[in-house]
A = this chain, B = another copy of it.
Amino acid sequence: MNKKEPTLDSAYIYRGKVVTLRKDTVLLPNGRKGEREIVEHPGAVAVVPVTAEGKIIFVKQYRKPLEQETIEIPAGKLDRGEGPEKCALRELQEEIGFLGKLEYKFSYFTTPGFSDEIMHLFIARDLEQSYLACDEDEFIEKLEVSPSEALHMIMKGEIKDAKTIIGIFTFLQEGHRQ
């Protein structure tokens, strides 16, 4: 069975700053027509910043879609033409005011059911305070947590952001538990 879904028609519904929404009419494998609502996204990076003591630096951020503050690892969207590594260093600088040495881990899709957003995951070590100030528009608070405490925070529902959960598990997987 051909598993592809050829596009019969495609129309843009909205082109925004973060979200662009498109509706495709596709041919399903059973010969019927289907509709696919697709959120186009420029792609993003997430970085697990690890201190010399082996703690992870998180940021607290107000997330309007959730109407609550969340605990997350530094992350952000790729600027046009920007590579993932450059973006990761920029976000590290803007969100926590550090420079660091990046290790690329893997890339994944955040929500394949309705979006093409790809997330590139890095671990950052050898952190050094940057002389540039943090981005003033980001309104961010920092906290440092041990990996084992971070794991408890996932299980207790205190850390509830997908990229942060993946970042913590990936770091723990390397055997850096403490």
Q: Could you list which residues of chain A lie within 8 angstroms of chain B, going by C-beta atoms?
A: 1, 3-5, 13-14, 16-19, 21, 23-24, 26, 28-30, 35-39, 41, 44, 60, 62-67, 69-70, 72, 75, 77, 105-117, 119, 136-137, 139, 151, 154-155, 157, 160-163, 165-166, 169-170, 172-173
Contact = CB atoms under 8 A, between A and B. Distances in A.
Contacts of A155: 105-106
A17 B3 contact: no
B161 A29 contact: no
A155 B28 CA distance: 31
Given A62-B3, A62-B5, A70 B26 contact: no
A131 B10 CA distance: 39
A4 B62 contact: yes
Q: How many copies does the complex hold?
A: 2
Contact of A113 (B18, B67, B173): B18
A64 B39 contact: no
Given A14-B21, A19-B39, A169-B166, A157 B65 contact: no
B64 A109 contact: no
Given A162-B110, A166-B169, A39 B39 contact: yes
B110 A111 contact: yes
